[in-house]
């Protein structure tokens, strides 16, 4: 099983430059042909490239090195440059060096040169001058850059399922997509974010992320904490999943919005819908009208277990997605596609 990995520590080293050539041209009847050692080739870079098909950092290795440049040859032949090494990372990858963000790869095809290759050395031909007609000096290639980078993935799903443990987020994701997150009757069943794709008849695809359950104080890194709050940051709209069977379910909604707002200002004000789950239980039907009174947001009551009223959620999800696409296009930006 390839698990979802959202952070990686990577050591990157650029390729070493090739050394300069050291030779003198010589052929019959032309003994003093002069220096003809060519320059060495440059070392190859290590480049991080955002790729839409890559969804996790699990395929990223802990070490990468660019290819070395070749040594300069006789007859003033330059050495070949070392090939670049491309590392595919998911769209939404943050690159940090010494705790500082140095790159944020949010678009497909975007590149960041993680480590530059070293410059090639100079051959003895380079040092030819009127004062020195037969230079023996040549220089070695320079070593490539060496860095230790921390890669962090912020899921770029369209919608984020936000809720307390055991609210039914994983069950809901299984019901509306082909994703298969673990489902069990204990808290924190989901330890990694899962992304499910909701397919529509016109071939549009909406990505929904199941964010591991938050608890009170998550913004202070309690429970699974900040490690998963950052995934919500990139979601364009939010689906608050509330367990209707508990007493006063609107308190859950208030607590969720508070945690999001404490983590990042304005996060709780994104387009959203409140999903009242477990409507198949008797207590839930009593709590539903009370929840609607306590919130101004749209409330969709459904059961992820039995499939009741899933169609209303799917239709509203498409409305939120279409609004997001129009907003992005009006700004002259291309919306994230899956």
Q: Does the global pTM surpass 0.85?
A: no
Distance of alpha carbon 54 from alpha carbon 61, whole angstroms? 14
Tell which CATH architecture fits domain 159-332: 3-Layer(aba) Sandwich (3.40)
Q: What per-residue string of b and e applies to 86-125 under the rule 16 or more CB within 10 Å gives b? A: ebebbbbbbbbeeeeeebbbeeeebebebbbbbbbbbbbb
290: number of Cβ within 10 Å: 13
Distance of alpha carbon 300 from alpha carbon 187, whole angstroms? 23
Count of alpha carbons within 13 angstroms of residue 35, beta-carbon side: 23
pLDDT value of position 55 = 75
Minimum mean pLDDT among 24-38, 134-148, 188-202, 300-314: which range? 188-202
pLDDT value of position 337 = 63
DSSP state of 278: -
**Do the domains spanning 1-154 and 159-332 agree at the CATH topology level?**
no
Q: Place 114 in a pLDDT band, splitting at 50, 70 and 90.
A: very high
User: Using an 8 Å Cβ cutoff, are 235 and 209 in contact?
Assistant: yes
Q: Is it true that domain 1-154 has CATH number 1.10.8.60?
A: no
- In DSSP terms, 9 is beta-bridged to 150
Is residue 303 over pLDDT 90? Answer: no
Q: Going by DSSP bridges, is the β-strand pair 63-65/100-105 parallel, antiparallel, or unpaired?
A: unpaired
Distance of alpha carbon 28 from alpha carbon 32, whole angstroms? 10
Tokens (6 digits) for 176: 């509306």
Q: Place 44 in a pLDDT band, splitting at 50, 70 and 90.
A: very high
Q: Place 331 in a pLDDT band, splitting at 50, 70 and 90.
A: confident
Rounded mean pLDDT of 271-293? 84
Distance of alpha carbon 111 from alpha carbon 61, whole angstroms? 18
Rounded mean pLDDT of 46-75? 88
- What is the domain partition of the chain in residue ranges? 1-154, 159-332
Q: Place 223 in a pLDDT band, splitting at 50, 70 and 90.
A: very low
pLDDT value of position 155 = 65
Q: Tell which residue, 92, 103, 93, has the closest CA to residue 147.
A: 103
pLDDT value of position 43 = 94
């Amino acid at each position: 099983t390839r698990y979802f990995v959202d952070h990686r520590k990577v050591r990157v080293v650029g390729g070493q430059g090739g050394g300069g050539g050291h030779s003198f041209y010589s052929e019959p009847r032309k003994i003093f042909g002069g220096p003809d050692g060519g320059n060495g080739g440059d070392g190859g870079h290590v480049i991080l490239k955002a790729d839409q098909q890559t969804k996790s950092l699990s395929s990223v290795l802990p070490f990468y090195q660019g290819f070395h440049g070749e040594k300069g040859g006789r007859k003033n032949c330059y050495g070949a440059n070392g090939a670049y090494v491309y590392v595919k990372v998911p769209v939404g990858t943050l690159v940090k060096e010494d705790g500082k963000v140095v790159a944020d790869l949010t678009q497909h095809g975007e590149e960041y040169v993680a480590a530059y290759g070293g410059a090639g050395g100079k051959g003895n031909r380079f040092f030819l001058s009127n004062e020195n007609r037969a230079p023996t000096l040549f220089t070695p290639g320079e070593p490539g850059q060496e860095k230790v980078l921390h890669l962090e993935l912020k899921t770029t799903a369209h919608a984020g399922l936000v809720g307390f443990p055991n609210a039914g987020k994983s069950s809901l994701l299984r019901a509306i997509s082909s994703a298969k997150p673990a489902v069990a009757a204990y808290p924190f069943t989901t330890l990694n974010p899962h992304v499910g794709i909701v397919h529509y008849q016109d071939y549009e695809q909406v990505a929904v992320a199941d964010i591991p359950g938050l608890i009170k104080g998550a913004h202070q890194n309690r429970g699974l904490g900040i490690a998963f709050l950052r995934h919500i940051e990139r979601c364009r709209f939010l689906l608050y999943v509330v367990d209707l069977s508990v007493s006063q379910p609107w308190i859950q909604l208030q607590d969720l919005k508070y945690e999001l707002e404490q983590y990042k200002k304005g996060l709780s004000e994104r387009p959203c819908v409140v999903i009242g789950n477990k409507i198949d239980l008797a207590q839930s039907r009593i709590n539903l009208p009370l929840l609607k009174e306590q919130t101004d947001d749209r409330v969709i009551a459904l059961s992820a277990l039995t499939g009741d009223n899933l169609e209303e959620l799917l239709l509203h999800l498409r409305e939120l997605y279409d609004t997001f696409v129009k907003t992005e296009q009006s700004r002259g930006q291309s919306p994230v596609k899956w």
